[in-house]
Each structure stands twice: as C-alpha cells, then as structure tokens.
Amino acid sequence: MTPRPAPQEYSVMVLGAGIFGSALAFHLARQGLRSVLLYDAVHPTYGASGKGAGILCSQCWDPWDIRVVEETREEYRGLAKGEPTVEFEENGSIRMIRTAGQEELLRERQRQLTDAGVESSWLTPDGISERLPGISVDGLRAALYTPHDAVVSAPGTTFRYAELALSKGVEVEWDRGTGSLRRERDAWLLTTRTGVARSPRVVIACGAWTKGVLGTLGHALPLAPYRTQAALLEPPVAQGSFPSVHDTDLDVYVRPYPGGRLLAGDGTQLREVDPDRVSTGSDWSFLEDIARAFHVRFPRWRESRVRRSWAGVCVATPDRHPLVGPVPGADGLFVAAGFNGFGVMRAGGLARRMAESLQDGDWGRLSPCLPARFRSPAKPFLPRPGFTLEANE
C-alpha cells in the first residue's frame, strides 16, 4: 500500500475567502503569524462578497459599532490608493424618513454619532432637494446626512485583500466544492482535492454556507440565510456622484456606480433559504418595486434601463448583530458570519480585531459579537435584517 502523505500543518485555517475571510488572512499574516491557509470551495466572490452593494454607513447600532465601521472605512481608503480595481468614494449618505416615530429614532442615532465624533447634519425636505437634485420630497419629514460615508467595490476589495494575503505568505487555495472538515484528536483536518491540511484552529467564514458547515460539525448556531436582490441601472443621462440614499418608507436604496450608472436594491425576502437551491436571478416583482420607487421618489431616473440584476444570499442572526469569535464548546473552532447584509461595511475592522484576538486570546475587543451570547440550542427564527434604525424599533 502507498503511504498517505502527511497533512500540511498550518497555524490557522480560514475557510471562506470572501471579503471577511480574505481580510482576516491578510491581517493574520500582517501581524506576523506564519503558516496561514485561506481556502474557498469555489472562489472569493462566489458568495455575497461578489454581489454586495458596498455602502459604508456610519448610522450603526452603538458607539462600538460606529468605531468598527470607521476603522473599516479608513482601511478600505488605504487599500484603494493606487489600485484602480478597488473603488472607494467618500460620497456621503442620506437616510430619509416620513413619520414622527422614525424621527425620534433618527434623532437618537444622530446624538450617538455626535457623541462618537462623527459628523452629521439634519436635513429638511428642502435640504434633501439641495443634496439630491431632482428628487421628489413629497411626504418626507426629514433626513440624516452623514457626509463621510462611502461606497466601495465589494468584489474589488475582496480580491485586493486576497492578493495582499498571498503577498504576505498566506497559502491560498480555491477548490471545486470538494473540501471536508473534521476534528481529529487535538486538531482540525481539512481534506481538499490537493491533499490534507491540519491546524489547531479553524475559522468558518463561509457566508451563507456557514450554518450548514457548523451543523455538520455538531456545533449549530442561530443563523438564517436569506435572499436579497439588487439591480444595476443606466439613467438617461450619465449620473455624477451623489450621496447614497435610503428611503425607509419605500425600502429602497440607491448609490452611484462607476460609469455614471446607479446601483439600486433591497429586494430582501424575510424567510430562510437553502443557499444551494436559491435562484441567483432577480424576480420580476423586485424590478417592478424598483420602478415604482423611482417613479415616486426619483423621477429624473424613472427612465433608467436595467443593465443587470441579481440575487444573493446574506445571513441573519436573531439580534441582527454578527457572530464573530470562538464557537462555544468547540476547541479551536471560530466563526465569522451573520452580518445581516452589512458584511462589507464591517469586514475590515472586525477582521483586524479578530486577527488580534486569535493572536493574544483577548476577545473583549469583539464582545458585542461573540457567539457565546447565545447559550441555548439554536432555534429556527425568521430573518429580520435591516438598517439599524429599524433594528432599534
């Protein structure tokens, strides 16, 4: 019999090379950790990282989260310098509301931003029109404007992280969906088409597939994959830069896109889906909703043509906060999932913090996201993703 080759040893294995996994591998190597494996069953932008809107918005759930998003924004700014494939534009964002109840919540959000040192301003309907010429403000009550919010290319940023990780000595492997993970004595073994990898620590950052991977390992966590949609539009006249805008009443967002185009979306479906069975094409009803929203709110863009539309799968948690850190009851097993549609917005900052915690064992820097906050067995729940304004209701 031919002896089996000995497993390749690694200090850490990162499973999932989306924007978080690629950023984590880069930060681990940048902080001096040797022998890191970044593995993906397909390729880095196969999942949500290839389909994300790429909006970085400071209107977060608390001061800790505000800092994480600020860290992420500055990191992406640095990545984009001299890299034309990594879009980064500080265009600001506007959050529009219609009711007194929403105004109370948004006023509280502005107070939090002010306390955290984040610049923002309150806009009347006339002020909204000044920032977004051609918009219809009928029925709007007010808006919160955060001028230093930004947009990025999620796929470009993901690949840049993977390139930087590779340049720092990380071993990167794209597979063909054949990988399998198991625990053997004091280590984790990953079997791929190229052989067997072994490490005492493994991070599961597989996006929509994380729930299934953890379930197979016997360490289920409360995660619910759900489907969301977006469309790339070409307006009648090429559009210059403008603040990303979210209408909370129509539940639609629009952001500028390179080439004078628009990226619009939400199209979120509030039910759990199987990521291996979900349609990646958009629904006709979603495109009709976008058309109605443009007719009501964005009349100058109502004749825009749909150039491309798609659906992706994000992952929800019961409290809308991510799960980032050690998996309870599993030695050497860690998770990064459940970003509720805002993974790009937090990936850079959270990945850096997780890399530091994997090095020094101090998980306090990630305390709001630690999986141990869910101590009971995982129970089914309906996804409730959304901007943090709605999360506080």
Per-residue model confidence (pLDDT) at position 44: 66
CATH for 378 = 3.50.50.60
Contacts of 70 (CB under 8 A, 6+ apart): 58, 118, 349
Contacts of 30 (CB under 8 A, 6+ apart): 164, 168, 355
Phi, psi (rounded to 5 degrees) for 264? -125, 150
Taking the C-alpha atoms of residue 62 and residue 40, their distance in angstroms, rounded to an integer, is 33
Q: Is residue 88 part of a domain?
A: no
Q: Are residues 166 and 250 in the same domain?
A: no
Q: Is residue 69 part of a domain?
A: no
CATH for 291 = 3.30.9.10
Q: Are residues 326 and 379 in the same domain?
A: yes
Q: Are residues 166 and 312 in the same domain?
A: no
Taking the C-alpha atoms of residue 193 and residue 213, their distance in angstroms, rounded to an integer, is 18
DSSP 225-240: EEEEEEEEEE-SS---
Strand order in the sheet with 195-199: 8-9, 195-199, 187-192, 180-184
Q: Are residues 219 and 230 in the same domain?
A: no
Q: Are residues 140 and 278 in the same domain?
A: no
The alpha helices in 210-268, defined as continuous H runs, are 210-216
Q: Is residue 43 part of a domain?
A: yes
Q: Are residues 288 and 347 in the same domain?
A: no
For residue 106, give the H/E element and its range: helix 100-115
Q: Which of 285, 316, 347 is the last residue of a domain?
A: 316
Q: Is residue 277 part of a domain?
A: yes
Q: What is the distance, to the nearest Å, from the Cα of residue 246 to the centroid of all Cα atoms in its chain?
A: 17
Q: Are residues 189 and 205 in the same domain?
A: yes
User: Angle formed by the axes of helices 63-80 and 154-167, to 10°?
Assistant: 70
Q: Mean pLDDT of residues grouped by 10 in the chain (393 residues)?
A: 66 96 97 93 72 86 90 95 88 94 89 92 96 93 96 93 95 78 93 90 96 94 94 95 92 94 89 92 93 94 95 92 96 96 94 98 96 84 69 40
Say which DSSP state 287 is in: H
- Is residue 277 packed enough to be buried (19+ CB in 10 Å), middle (13-18) or exposed (0-12)? exposed
Taking the C-alpha atoms of residue 370 and residue 365, their distance in angstroms, rounded to an integer, is 10
Taking the C-alpha atoms of residue 382 and residue 317, their distance in angstroms, rounded to an integer, is 9
Taking the C-alpha atoms of residue 18 and residue 312, their distance in angstroms, rounded to an integer, is 13
**Domain coverage including residue 120:** 93-147
Sign of the C-alpha dihedral computed for residues 56, 59, 63 and 64 taken in this order: negative
Q: Are residues 301 and 330 in the same domain?
A: no
Q: Is residue 180 part of a domain?
A: yes
Q: Are residues 107 and 238 in the same domain?
A: no
Q: Are residues 204 and 311 in the same domain?
A: no
Strands 142-146 and 88-89: unpaired
Sign of the C-alpha dihedral computed for residues 386, 162, 218 and 375 taken in this order: negative
Q: Is residue 83 part of a domain?
A: no
Among 54, 11, 24, CA closest to 204:
24
Q: Tokens for 8, please give them.
A: 């390749």
At position 347, the amino acid (one-letter code) is: A
Among 393, 388, 385, CA closest to 318:
385
- Is residue 148 packed enough to be buried (19+ CB in 10 Å), middle (13-18) or exposed (0-12)? middle
Taking the C-alpha atoms of residue 267 and residue 287, their distance in angstroms, rounded to an integer, is 9
Rg of the chain over CA atoms, in angstroms? 21
Q: Is residue 87 part of a domain?
A: no
Q: For residue 374, how many other CB atoms are within 10 A of its CB?
A: 16
Q: Which of 131, 147, 163 is the last residue of a domain?
A: 147
Phi, psi (rounded to 5 degrees) for 5? -65, 145
Q: Are residues 45 and 17 in the same domain?
A: yes
Query: Could you give the number of structural domains in the chain?
Result: 3
Strand order in the sheet with 93-97: 121-123, 142-146, 93-97, 244-247, 252-257, 261-266, 224-234, 305-316
Q: In this predicted model, what pLDDT tens digit does every residue of 47-87 receive, in sequence order?
A: 677 778 899 998 778 889 999 999 999 999 999 998 887 89
Taking the C-alpha atoms of residue 163 and residue 279, their distance in angstroms, rounded to an integer, is 30
Q: Which of 316, 339, 363 is the last residue of a domain?
A: 316
Q: Is residue 72 part of a domain?
A: no
Phi, psi (rounded to 5 degrees) for 312? -135, 175
Taking the C-alpha atoms of residue 69 and residue 54, their distance in angstroms, rounded to an integer, is 12
Q: Tokens for 312, please give them.
A: 């992706």
Q: Are residues 115 and 199 in the same domain?
A: no
- Is residue 27 packed enough to be buried (19+ CB in 10 Å), middle (13-18) or exposed (0-12)? buried
Is the whole model's pTM more than 0.85, yes or no? Answer: yes
Is 122:141 a contact under the CB 8 Å cutoff?
no
